A and B are shown apart, each in its own frame.
Chain A
Amino acid sequence: MLKLTFRNLAANKARFVMTTFAVVLGVGFVVASFVLSDGLRSSFGDLSDEITVGTDLQVRPVSDFGEPPPLDQDLVDRIASLDGIEVVAGFVSADDNAMQPVKPDGTTISSAGPPQLTFSWVADQGLGSFALVEGTAPDEPREFAMDIDGAEANGFVVGGSYDLVTPIGVVKDATLTATTRFGSDNSTLGAVLMHVSLGEAQRLFGSPGTVDEIGIRLAPDADATAVAAAISGIIPDSGVEIVDQATLNSEQKADFNQGINIIGNVLLGFAIVSLFVSIFIIYNTFSIVLGQRVREMGLLRALGADSRQIRRTVLGEALLVGLFASLIGLIAGVGIARGLIALFEALGASLPDAPTIVALRTVILALVLGVGVTVVSSLVPARAAAGIAPIAALRDGARLGSQSSRRRSLTGAALIGVGLMFGVYGLANPPGTTLALVAVLGLAASLVFVGVSLASHMLARPVARVLGWPIAAGMGTAGRLARENASRNPRRTATTGAALMIGLSLVSTVLIIGESVKSRLGDLLETSVQADYLIVDDSEAGVTSDLAAELAATGQFSAVTGFRYDEARLSGTVSEVVAADLTSLGRLLSLDVRSGAIPSDEAGDVVLLHMDQADELGVVVGDVVPAEFATGTTIDLTVAAIFADDTVIGSPIVPNAVFDSAGSADVHQWVAAALADGMDPDLAQPLIDQIQQRYPQVSIDSAAEFQARFEASIDSALAVVNALLALAVVIALIGIANTLALSVHERTRELGLLRAVGMTRRQVRRMVRWEAALVAMFGAMLGVALGVVFGWGAVTALPVNFADTVTIPIRRITVLVVVAAGAGLLAAWLPARRAGRLDVLKAISHT
């Protein structure tokens, strides 16, 4: 029988090429995600070594929560005086994109890509990991250095003078004193790395006399444990810790790995979706091909093959196809990984030279997944083939037996039910980790997908008839036959459509979530925000309080406040705390105060609490809540008001004075402003433009502009997700092409007859293409319907501040269905061409 297996594959090469292709793509992306993350992990591991190799010990501040206060700079000198220490240096580093140099063309480097990082310069190359390439280290205020690749890519030259956008405003005419190299080959991953002197870093990003951490290199003969003990003798008892190089290195690796794992897992997720889609295609191919071989199987049975042998032949074919496809997928995966690295490089990230690592685990997984998927999807067709009776050899038009339509529908409905229950349970009681949640929801969705594909054959005929009506009306006989063909084999149409359904349901779920979030934001801005302008820092590093002060000083605004964020322990639980100018607050946000009142001026140590938190803490207006800050300061806050609207801020709100006395940073995360009564926005605009020029890192938006910008950012996030889902859609389209090719083959005689009685080639092509369009539209509509269900579930499960009512982007979803139909037309291009080219006489005598 093995011989027969090989013969069959050889005879049906073309039929299996496309099946193979679906498996190859799925396996390829799985392999790529592993090869890529293994490679990156290895090279980032090297990078971690490079970063930490020169630092034997590090002293740094710690706290249970919030941002710990920086270290006293005096500590550096005191450590230096200890025995066994060769070099010691204090570091200050800026938040991502906190400092942005202005390029010669007047623009800043895009902050959407890799970050721009700034550190204080440390002369010792071992501690600092940087070496000078050209020039001298920055030493004075308004001097900076930049890594060699960043400088070259953005047109900065040593000795040139450039403006720097910083949290304290624009630093004019700073001099680029040097270019630097990070580690051995300046692998910056596209980040721009800059340095300023320690004093300048303190002025721009920190506070005078403090450092963020202290790096230490020991004398060659010193004992690390002894030195660490000596250091702990001179540092404060709490709030400071000493870590060794091994800890630093593993922390650094874990930090990198987190990012790499995210990339790897996201790729893997989409690869698995693609593989899942291929199951439907393989299943369909095997069913159709076996359906065409019923007589041959019957003959084998008549000649004495038992049903086990038949089943083994079919499964053997699946095994070979799976093995072949997995091997190709393995090779393709390595190629895809290299391609992705090239893509990253093209997008501006200079990756460290990542080795191509094909781990044994990757090979095994590729084979198991590829072969497994193929064999599993051929189980049902194999069983049906084994059930063929010997008499089938003699009967014309004998069909592959399969379970009854009723049983199929019931099984489908049951799977849908179980899947939905899983989904609802998962969303209602989200498991602890994201991975577990994704697994539960993925399982739920898979059950629903399989269920729908089983049950939807009931819908295939009626839906194809309805959808096909305009086609039949507009395209004449070719259109009518396309409609008949799409509905003549409902199971085939249903399975083929189901493959497309999966991709499109995920795409429309994503679209619906996005749209719901957007419309929620619109509502929020309408009801909860009264401010005319929202000023958001694009770099997320925060902006100096000078900006709000300058706005207020113009006298054109009735209310201006910046918002500062920190963490504090309130009656034992850690909570985010926000500080603002309470006098202005009421005119900028609608807090919906339920009891008490927002104090009219900066009146002592008060706090405004959201009613849920007040309930939790068991306090009412007038009660006192002690708040312990990360700096160690504890302040007793008197509850001044309890509010109900938590759409913008749900955390405790305190006056600025409280943060000031607690020692929290004076950095505004965002600023809100309301125009003075009767002030014309057009007149205010020049003022705003002026301030905007001094703080290019922020966006000063009207409420409408803010909404538009936010929506645009959601749209671009959606675009990325949908681009990845496009892979699943492409595989489904290959499936449509495959099914159509097989159907054309199956209907060769019929096509010959049609051509003989006068159907033109063009009409034949049109007929095949529109059948594909109908199948695609059927799948797309199922997908959209499921997407609405999924979207509804997701929106319901989302916190109410993100989204509360399901908003369906009708126009986009209609476009989706139309595009799917168009893609179906295109997918059928080749089968249609083949059908059109059939030799009439050969086709008629085809058996």
Chain B
Amino acid sequence: MDSTSITMEATAARAVGATKVYGSGETRVCALDGVTAEFERGRFTAIMGPSGSGKSTLMHCLAGLDTLTEGRVFIGDTDLSTLSERKLTLLRRDKVGFVFQAFNLVPTLTAIENITLPMDLAGRDPDREWLDNVIDTVGLRDRLTHRPSELSGGQQQRVAVSRALASNPEIIFADEPTGNLDSTSGAEVLDFMRHAVDELGQTIVMVTHDPVAAAHADRAVFLVDGRIVDEMADPTAELVLDEMKLLSRR
């Protein structure tokens, strides 16, 4: 293996000069202002920043849900800007996992059906061994045939993370996955994500406001006004909190 392919392999997703502008003239908002960042394989990254700093926008663009005004984003070595709408959909289905803040599950499907949904959509059989592994990790084996309405908020989010994991994607994006949960349920979900990175070798990028949540990550990236202003390896809650206070004073 040569060196380039190693760096390719090592990066699950990256953004190069990513710029996103909404509106024009008076109402022009620059949600992302030339963001360049890499997300390494097998790592858990937290994206932090004040409200309106562009965290969700960055994540949506990285995940192929939204398109950039300028710059490029890559999943693995695929340049998303070259993909058609259909190709983007297939990429999301096969290479990307998602966890939203709320409303993650299709109400008519059971927990297990929700978990295997992306593979079912692809008409692919899930890898049973991997799936068992994921289900054991999430610890909801006795709840698999329940519908979302029969699960607690925390359980629903864990099912959502399982769904993101089930197809063994290139990368998982989570936008404030614990934002709607109390601290205990939130901790369960975060532990589960940590576990997925450590034991199952997954790559996770998580947007959060919560320093405690960020402390579960390997690395924290700080965004202000659409720009990356700082980053921190092995964040702890106290360090992150200090940093955020600092940023909000700028």
Which residues of A line the B interface, CB within 8 A? 476-478, 480-481, 484-485, 488, 749-750, 753-761, 763, 840-841, 844
Contact = CB atoms under 8 A, between A and B. Distances in A.
Given A485-B108, A758-B121, A759-B93, 16 more contacts: A481-B108, A484-B109, A488-B107, A488-B108, A749-B103, A750-B107, A753-B100, A756-B92, A757-B92, A757-B121, A758-B122, A760-B86, A760-B89, A761-B86, A761-B89, A841-B60
24 contacts: A476-B120, A476-B121, A476-B123, A477-B117, A481-B106, A481-B108, A481-B109, A485-B108, A488-B107, A749-B103, A753-B100, A753-B105, A754-B106, A756-B65, A756-B92, A757-B92, A757-B117, A757-B121, A758-B90, A759-B89, A760-B93, A761-B86, A761-B89, A841-B65
B98 interface: yes
A837 to B, nearest CB: 10
A758 B86 contact: no
A756 B86 contact: no
Given A476-B121, A477-B117, A758-B118, A753 B89 contact: no
Contact of A844 (B86, B90, B100, B117): B100
Contact of B121 (A477, A749, A761): A477
Residue of B60, B93, B106, B123 contacting most chain A CB atoms (<10 Å): B106
Interface string B18-60: 0000000000000000000000000000000000000000001
A750 B106 contact: yes
Interface of B: 60, 65-66, 85-86, 89-90, 92-94, 98, 100, 103-109, 117-118, 120-123, 163
A761 B121 CA distance: 12
Contacts of A840: 65
A758 B89 contact: yes
A481 B108 CA distance: 8
Given A477-B120, A477-B121, A841-B65, A758 B92 contact: yes
Residue of B89, B104, B118 contacting most chain A CB atoms (<10 Å): B89
Contact of A761 (B60, B66, B85, B103): B85
A269 to B, nearest CB: 41
Given A485-B108, A750-B106, A841-B65, A757 B85 contact: no
A521 to B, nearest CB: 51
Chain A interface SS verdict (over half): helix
B109 to A, nearest CB: 7
Nearest to B173: A756
Residue of A478, A749, A750, A844 contacting most chain B CB atoms (<10 Å): A844
Contacts of A763: 121
A761 to B, nearest CB: 7
Given A476-B121, A477-B120, A477-B121, A756 B98 contact: yes
A531 B54 CA distance: 93
Residue of A757, A761, A844 contacting most chain B CB atoms (<10 Å): A757
Contacts of A476: 120-121, 123
A446 B109 CA distance: 37
Residue of A480, A753, A763 contacting most chain B CB atoms (<10 Å): A753
Given A477-B117, A477-B121, A757 B93 contact: yes
B46 to A, nearest CB: 21
Given A476-B121, A484-B108, A757 B103 contact: no
Nearest to A484: B108
B150 to A, nearest CB: 13
Contacts of A754: 106, 117, 121
Contacts of A749: 103
B189 to A, nearest CB: 18
Ordered nearest first, which 6 A-B pairs have the shortest CB separation?
A758-B93, A484-B108, A477-B120, A758-B92, A758-B118, A760-B89
A382 to B, nearest CB: 27
B41 to A, nearest CB: 21
Contacts of A760: 86, 89-90, 93, 121
Nearest to B97: A757
A473 to B, nearest CB: 12
Nearest to B57: A841
Nearest to B63: A756
A478 B93 CA distance: 14
Contacts of B103: 749-750, 753, 844
Contacts of A759: 89, 93, 121
B85 A753 contact: no
Nearest to A763: B121
A757 B108 contact: no
Contacts of B94: 758
A753 B104 contact: yes
A759 B122 CA distance: 8
Contacts of A484: 108-109
A208 B90 CA distance: 92
A757 B163 contact: yes
Contacts of A753: 100, 103-106
B55 to A, nearest CB: 14
Contacts of A755: 89
B75 to A, nearest CB: 13
A487 to B, nearest CB: 8
Given A476-B123, A749-B103, A757 B109 contact: no
Contacts of B89: 755, 758-761
A767 to B, nearest CB: 10
A29 to B, nearest CB: 39
Contacts of A844: 100, 103
Contacts of B66: 841
Nearest to B105: A753
B65 A757 contact: no
A844 B66 CA distance: 12
A480 B120 CA distance: 10
Nearest to A487: B108
B160 to A, nearest CB: 10
Contacts of A756: 65, 92, 98, 100
Contacts of B123: 476-477
A485 B106 CA distance: 11
A234 to B, nearest CB: 91
Nearest to A486: B108
A468 B92 CA distance: 28
Contacts of B65: 756, 840-841
Contacts of A841: 60, 65-66
